[in-house]
Structure 1
Amino acid sequence: MSSNRKKAIVGNHVSHAKNRVKRLFKPNIHKHKFWVEAENKFITLTVSAKGMRIIDKKGIDAFLSDIRAQGVKV
């Protein structure tokens, strides 16, 4: 489950001849293990690159409390 709810969006692949073909732009999502000092264990989350930047900014404890408040089981 992605922590910041990223999903693919639809766009066009445009060739040099300006032919347009539908394509998907997929988010940059990865599984990543984070060390949670308060729980003294690793937690594996599926996060996007932007999600990792948010975790770096807010801290993993604040991030986990926010997503747990939304009802996500971690």
Structure 2
Amino acid sequence: MTKICQITKRKTTRGNHRSHAMNTTKRKFFINLQYHRFWIPQEKKFIKIRISKKGLRMINKLGIQKIYKKYINAKKEINHGKK
């Protein structure tokens, strides 16, 4: 499974290790992903999503209902565009 946040759509970025002599080697910067369960009171069910810590902070600030609506609408648009 790829390391992508389901809310913010952030993913792994690439960069360089730089030694003291300024030699470069490729490396990856991984995001801080966590699995988290949220209760959706409108649908009376839990959802389990893979979310970054930044996404978790967004949910704490805006609320799970608002974020969940955006997430569902975005998912519908993606699926509608494929057909």
TM range (shorter): 0.7 to 0.9
- Structure-2 separation of matches of 1:10 and 1:71: 27
Q: Which has the higher helix share?
A: 2
Find the counterpart in structure 1 of residue 54 from structure 2. Answer: 50
Find the counterpart in structure 1 of residue 35 from structure 2. Answer: 31
- Structure-1 separation of matches of 2:74 and 2:46: 21
Q: Structure 1 unaligned runs (5+)? A: none
Could you list the structure 1 runs, at least 4 aligned residues long, displaced by more than 3 angstroms after superposition.
none
Identity of aligned residues (%): 38
TM-score by structure 1 length?
0.84
- Structure-1 separation of matches of 2:36 and 2:56: 9
TM-score by structure 2 length?
0.76
Find the counterpart in structure 1 of residue 80 from structure 2. Answer: none
Q: Which has the higher strand share?
A: 1
CA apart distance, 1:17 = 2.5
